[in-house]
Amino acid sequence: MSGNEWLVLGLLGGFLALMMIGVPVAIALAVSGFAAGYLGFGSMLFSLLPARLYGVVTNYTMLAIPLFVFMGVMLEKSRVAEDMLETIGRAMGGLNGGMGIAIILVGVLMGASTGIVGATVVTVAMLTLPTLMRRGYKPSIACGTICASGTLGQIIPPSLVLILLSEIVGESVGTLFAAAFIPGLVLAAVYVIFLIVLGKLKPDWVPAIPAEERAKAAPGTLGRDLLRTVLPPLLLVVAVLGSIIGGIAAPTEAASMGALGSALIAIGARRFTWTLLRETLHGTLTITAMVFFILLCAQPFALAFRGLGGEQMVHDLFSLIPGGEMGALLFLMLLLFVLGFFLEWIEISYIALPMFLPVFHAYGTDMVWLAVLVAMNLQMSFLTPPFGWALFFLKGVAPPGITTRDIYAGAIPYVLLQMLALALIFIFPGIATWLPKAIGW
């Protein structure tokens, strides 16, 4: 191998080594990128860096990130999710597994209105996990359902994953939102079917709410409560996603409409206060700063990798894999799944994925389909032990009696269900590509 190829391996190995010893992701990216790039080219390689950094912070599409985050944090902190969960739980309570199905449905609505895994998992866990335990749910099933519900926001638009993937694969945000919409609903449907079947086969694992408890609710109020608690977030989701997918508004414009709509919902629920606004703005700033800091620190890494010939090394590696395009896709899916055990989705997106894209461009692979496959795969990284973030979020708020083993055991069936959904999209690409083509994207 040439000297540059050894530097590419040192770049990747140095990044992983820094991660293993606890260096923050962003710093590990920047340090390894600067070191390998300087050894290979001196300071010349990084003359392009200012333009790359300027391109990230002035990207109009990226402005959608803080606006969508604001929308999600506002809905979470104004307790809209609490109201939805209580009402949908009452509607589903008479069915074995009904509370679990309610959690999945709330995950769909929260995912389509927040896209923030931590907020959804923590909110749903604090509201439902003690109740599920009291009603006799098996601990592992309760934990797995909550974690899986929270991760739906990574595939159901608007999703930060999809916004960043749109930049990486070179497709519009609206196209990826349209492409991921049906796969997200398919995944949620797979979860619901699993809970229904489990309720038939193991009713003692997912018991229904007792009839006496359901009878305590005021008669005739369910329909009114559904309209009051579920309809406003649903209309907000339809307005935001509909305007993007329908081509009425750009993602950034729709995100600003969503941010305003979330504030109006909080006002309508009489929960809007200056304290709420301050907390929402602080949460938005924290999450957005984390995302952009990693994006900026990824630029020297990407420059060094490309300048040292890393793309050609990857292309040569893929040429050794049998099966052509399908073999390369299967290898990529397996690699992303394994990386998901150890790395966060944003590192995988900005470090691993760009290495492989030239190979699939050469094959003529549909980038929209590939992006949805990648997004679905990255979603699994939130659930895969030992470092799945959804598992950490749940462990942080789990009541006494819930063990780490319960959380890990509960996640495994849902990881398998995600694999099933991923396989369906792989075998039937139309699940992802039909809607963008139907609306002319």
| 441 residues of the chain, pLDDT tens digit each | 566 778 888 888 888 788 778 777 788 888 888 888 888 877 777 777 888 788 878 877 778 778 888 887 887 788 777 777 777 777 776 788 888 888 888 888 877 766 666 666 776 777 778 878 877 889 999 999 988 988 888 888 877 788 888 888 888 888 898 899 999 999 999 999 999 999 899 888 888 876 666 565 555 576 777 788 888 888 888 888 788 777 788 778 888 888 898 899 889 888 889 999 999 899 888 878 877 887 788 788 878 877 777 767 766 776 777 777 888 899 888 888 877 776 667 767 777 787 788 888 888 889 999 999 999 998 888 888 766 778 877 877 777 778 888 888 899 999 999 999 999 999 999 999 999 888 766
Cβ contact 88:106 at 8 Å: yes
Strand (E) or helix (H) holding 27: helix 25-41
Q: What is the pLDDT of residue 217?
A: 57
**Vertex 300: Cα angle to 295 and 303 (nearest 5):** 110
H helical segments located in 211-323: 211-215, 222-229, 231-245, 251-268, 274-307, 310-319
**Vertex 312: Cα angle to 352 and 175 (nearest 5):** 50
Q: What is the pLDDT of residue 381?
A: 81
Q: What is the pLDDT of residue 270?
A: 85
Give 278's contacts (C-beta < 8 A, 6+ positions apart): none
Count CB-CB contacts under 10 A for residue 128: 25
Distance of CA 89 to the CA centre of its chain: 24
pTM of the entire predicted model: 0.78
Give the residue carrying structure tokens 């300071």.
43
Q: What is the pLDDT of residue 337?
A: 85
End-to-end CA distance of the chain: 44
Rounded (10°) angle between helices 64-77 and 251-268: 20
Q: What is the pLDDT of residue 311?
A: 65
Q: What is the pLDDT of residue 189?
A: 94
Give the pair of three-digit tokens for residue 190: 């797979």
Cβ contact 398:125 at 8 Å: yes
Cβ contact 314:359 at 8 Å: yes
Q: What is the pLDDT of residue 154?
A: 82
Q: How far apart are CA 371 and CA 399, in angstroms?
A: 37
Give the pair of three-digit tokens for residue 66: 């803080």
Q: How far apart are CA 323 and CA 418, in angstroms?
A: 24
